[in-house]
Amino acid sequence: ASRFDWLIDEARLTAQTLLDRAEELASPTLRLGITGLSRAGKTVFTTALIHALMRGGRLPVFRAMHEGRIAGARLEPQPDDGVPRFDYESHVATLVDDRRWPESTRRISELRLAVDYAPARGGRRTLTLDIVDYPGEWLLDLPLLDQTYAEFSAKSLSLARAPARRPLAGPFLAALEASNPAGTADEPEARRIAALFTDYLAACRAETVSMSLLPPGRFLMPGDLEGSPALTFAPLDLPEGAEAPSGSLHAMMERRFEAYKERVVRPFFRDHFARLDRQIVLIDVLSALNAGPAALADLEAALDGILTAFRIGRNSWLSALFRHRIGKVLFAATKADHLHHTSHDPLEAILRRLVERALARAEGAGAEIDVVALAAVRATREAMVKRGRAHLPAIVGVPEAGQHDADEFDGLAEAAVFPGDLPENPSALFDPALGFNGLSDASGGDFRFLRFRPPVVERNAEGLALPMPHIRLDRALEFLLGDRLK
């Protein structure tokens, strides 16, 4: 990027920061980002968080709520007109009325909540909470801002040719062999190559449960850009130091790559990411654990990619975008209701290990960081179930119908799984010599992909849903909001 782009970013961000500050003075405002890879649990968490602030519930660790200092929370019109609204009402209806999980996050959305509370020292105040839910895949694009098209091509192709990915990249690499970057640009050819490149990225993610993800992030999670020309580029096999002849395929792809950076990546970081005060990163650690050591290593690599966005040093030109630092980051392992409560602490220990290793390369990240294992919406209960002579701790819930991995559960009112225990010492999972092979059901079955329906939630006389059951949601709320409601 040129010095000029940098100045424009700087100016726009400064203007936006001043506007944010003015608003902050008028009424205290907190911008909370909710992110995570696809299916990590963003929609469910965001819905549950808003619901808990509006309806309360059993939240002993969330002090302001527990002490009765939160008078209420109201939805308000959001500040950014250009961003879709998080569809809270319909997500609650899906969860409570249909007992189905709501539709997952596919693009950025936002919701503003005004929380009326009584500070511990007395009086009345309002905290304006702006919640921004966005796909974690988009964070993978940050390194692109610093790359030329030639660098992006070289890097992407060396990964595509690495042994693990090569089998998945076959058709894409074959198309590259048949193409000539210096030849005349041809729209159908560009589209075909871009489509094969997209298929290859999608195959990489499908192949591994947790997906070691590769940019461009919008190729995996296009949001509103699905099918748009900004996404019809791909890396090309370029000779070292090759200039792009005008009118060539090379020139066309290069132009689109630059357009992607300028019109898609940079605005997202400048207008959204750089303005966040707090951030929760949701991680489906359990799926990776279930799938075994390769998936766990893969998850770690994916996290490493995502966390780059959280550890930009001051000496990089990118730091202009990150002057306003995110003050607190919470990493949360989701869906803890698939485990017995004795495994919740071990799950946190595993997550801490994953995140520590990914953050180890940080150049003084500066944010306060914590980890938690939670279930935003608890779909199961615990029971002791007799198996032969033994009584085993089990997780009981209503299986979702139509899970082709677990047909035998179709139509059952309730099913019990025996999740077994997570190791107390997470090192066992990270050391191949110790022979960890993925989790298995304590009774020898495979419970990996069993999904439970959301729980029964009652409604009050006015038809409002009563609080939803959860695991440790209150800890997340206390870490993210507690100090601002004192």
Q: Which residues are at the interface with ligand GDP (CB under 6 A)?
A: 36, 38-44, 101, 104-105, 334-335, 337, 375-377, 379, 451-452
∠ CA 86-13-136, rounded to 5°: 40
All residues at 6 or more sequence positions from 46 whose CB lies less than 8 Å from its CB, including other chains:
34, 86, 88, 91, 111, 131, 133
**Nearer CB in complex with ligand GDP: 9/137:** 137
From the CB of 131, what's the least distance to ligand GDP, in Å?
13
Q: What are the Cα distances from residue 385, in Å, to 379, 382, 446?
A: 18, 9, 17
Nearest to 233 by CA among 186, 194, 188: 194
**Nearer CB in complex with ligand GDP: 150/213:** 213
Helix segments in 292-404, DSSP class H: 293-307, 344-359
Nearest to 318 by CA among 330, 305, 309: 309
**Nearer CB in complex with ligand GDP: 100/323:** 100
Tell me how far apart the alpha carbons of residues 48 and 101 are, in angstroms, rounded to a whole number: 12
Neighbours of 357 (CB within 10 A): 13
**Nearer CB in complex with ligand GDP: 43/156:** 43
Nearest to 284 by CA among 272, 305, 302: 302
The one-letter amino acid at 36: G
From the CB of 34, what's the least distance to ligand GDP, in Å?
9
From the CB of 327, what's the least distance to ligand GDP, in Å?
23
**Nearer CB in complex with ligand GDP: 41/426:** 41
Nearest to 334 by CA among 31, 47, 32: 47
Residue 446 burial class via C-beta count within 10 angstroms: exposed 0-12, middle 13-18, buried 19 and up: middle
- Please state the separation of Cα 260 from the chain's center in Å: 21
**Nearer CB in complex with ligand GDP: 40/132:** 40
From the CB of 72, what's the least distance to ligand GDP, in Å?
25
From the CB of 218, what's the least distance to ligand GDP, in Å?
15
From the CB of 472, what's the least distance to ligand GDP, in Å?
10
| Residue 326, SS3 per DSSP | coil
**Nearer CB in complex with ligand GDP: 36/223:** 36
All residues at 6 or more sequence positions from 111 whose CB lies less than 8 Å from its CB, including other chains:
46, 50, 75, 78, 85, 86, 88, 130, 131
From the CB of 181, what's the least distance to ligand GDP, in Å?
36
From the CB of 282, what's the least distance to ligand GDP, in Å?
6
**Nearer CB in complex with ligand GDP: 41/419:** 41
- Mutual orientation of helices 149-160 and 166-177 as an angle, nearest 10°? 130
Residue 162 burial class via C-beta count within 10 angstroms: exposed 0-12, middle 13-18, buried 19 and up: exposed
Could you tell me what percentage of the chain is helix, strand and coil, using 3-state DSSP and rounding each to the nearest 5? 45, 15, 40
On the CB side of 124, how many CA atoms lie within 13 Å of its CA?
A: 5
Residues 247, 184: contact at Cβ < 8 Å?
Answer: yes
CA dihedral over 272, 273, 275, 279, signed as positive or negative: positive
Q: What are the Cα distances from residue 114, in Å, to 34, 59, 71, 125, 327?
A: 18, 19, 11, 10, 21
- Please state the separation of Cα 103 from the chain's center in Å: 15
**Nearer CB in complex with ligand GDP: 43/308:** 43
**Nearer CB in complex with ligand GDP: 173/220:** 220
Tell me how far apart the alpha carbons of residues 178 and 308 are, in angstroms, rounded to a whole number: 35
**Nearer CB in complex with ligand GDP: 335/475:** 335
From the CB of 103, what's the least distance to ligand GDP, in Å?
7
**Nearer CB in complex with ligand GDP: 40/252:** 40
